Amino acid sequence: MFDLERFIADCDSAVLTGGQEAAREVLARAIADPGAVLAVLGEPHRAELKVLHRSPRLTILNPLWPPHHTQVPHDHLIWAEIGVYCGREDNIFWRRCPPNDEWQIEAVGATSICTGRCHSLERDAIHSVTNPLDRITAALHVYGGDLSTQPRRMWHSETLVGGPIDNARDYRAMDAYNASLCLASR
């Protein structure tokens, strides 16, 4: 059975004793039973980004991505572990080009993270995230530090030119999806 407080405590302990690899093991155990996670966190009905825990050494987010939403390429500057418990995340991985160019990126790989699966991101990873489904995708994201204090970057979806992180586009997409739910229920 998934217990949120225990999960947070286990992730925190794992970061202290074994770093990213140990945190991944904790997340993988939790995500291995997606139904148990759903039973505790609830069936996703609204798109949102929930902060489950934030401290100087650990951030745990519960993103609920709206259908067909794509988050532009971005970095974290700390390692991350992604575990999907409902739906699917498609990730494209990017690198700076030419080498060490801070302003432009090129695609170098991709992966799909399905329900019950995890994926690791190193501290220098750049990725974009798409929910390709007609329903909300729900995940647990575990970060090795306080994500909110990192001087992060994002890259424009059309030009792939970088700049400071600004999540306003993602929040507008979530608000629009949630508003459409209200209109549909009338």
Residue-wise pLDDT for 26-44, tens only, equals 999 999 999 999 999 999 9
- Judging by beta carbons within 10 Å of its beta carbon (0-12, 13-18, 19+), is residue 15 exposed, middle or buried? buried
Query: Residue 182 pLDDT > 90, yes or no?
Result: no
**Average pLDDT for 2-22:** 97
Confidence of residue 168 (pLDDT cuts 50, 70, 90): confident
Query: What is the model's pTM?
Result: 0.92
Give the CATH fold of the 4-184 domain: Jelly Rolls (2.60.120)
More confident residue, 98 or 58: 58
Average pLDDT score over residue span 164-173: 82
CA gap 182, 16 in Å, rounded: 43
